[in-house]
Amino acid sequence: MNQSQAKRRRPMLQNDQRSRNQSNHRPITPTLITILTAALLLPTACAHHARVELAAATALDRLAAEVETALNEYHDELNAADRDKRAAVIDAFVNRIRTDHANPQQTTAHVQQFNDALDRILADTDVERTRMTATRDNIATVRDIAADLRRFAVQSMSLNDDLQRYLNDLLQPIEQPTPPNPHEPN
Rounded to a whole number of angstroms, the distance between the first and last alpha carbons of the chain is 27
Residues 6+ apart with CB under 8 A from 6: 174, 175, 176
Tens-place pLDDT, residues 75-84: 999 999 999 9
Q: How far is CA 4 from the centre of its chain?
A: 43
DSSP letter at 172 equals S
Reference 154, options 73, 49, 69; nearest CA is 49
Q: What is the pTM (predicted TM-score) of this model?
A: 0.56
Helices (H), 101-182: 104-171
Residue 178 exposure: Cα atoms within 13 Å on the Cβ side: 5
DSSP assignment of 37-84, as one string?
A: HHHHHHHHHHHHHHHHHHHHHHHHHHHHHHHHHHHHHHHHHHHHHHHH
Query: Residues of the chain with pLDDT > 70: what percent?
Result: 59
Domain ranges of the chain: 20-171
| pLDDT value of residue 159 | 67
Tens-place pLDDT, residues 50-94: 788 888 888 989 989 998 999 999 999 999 999 999 999 999 999
Alpha-carbon distance 61 to 41, whole Å? 31
Average pLDDT over residues 4-16: 47
**Residue 117's pLDDT band (cuts 50, 70, 90):** very high
Residue 145 exposure: Cα atoms within 13 Å on the Cβ side: 14
Reference 4, options 175, 178, 163, 180; nearest CA is 175
| pLDDT value of residue 81 | 92
| pLDDT value of residue 22 | 46
Query: Residues of the chain with pLDDT > 90: what percent?
Result: 35
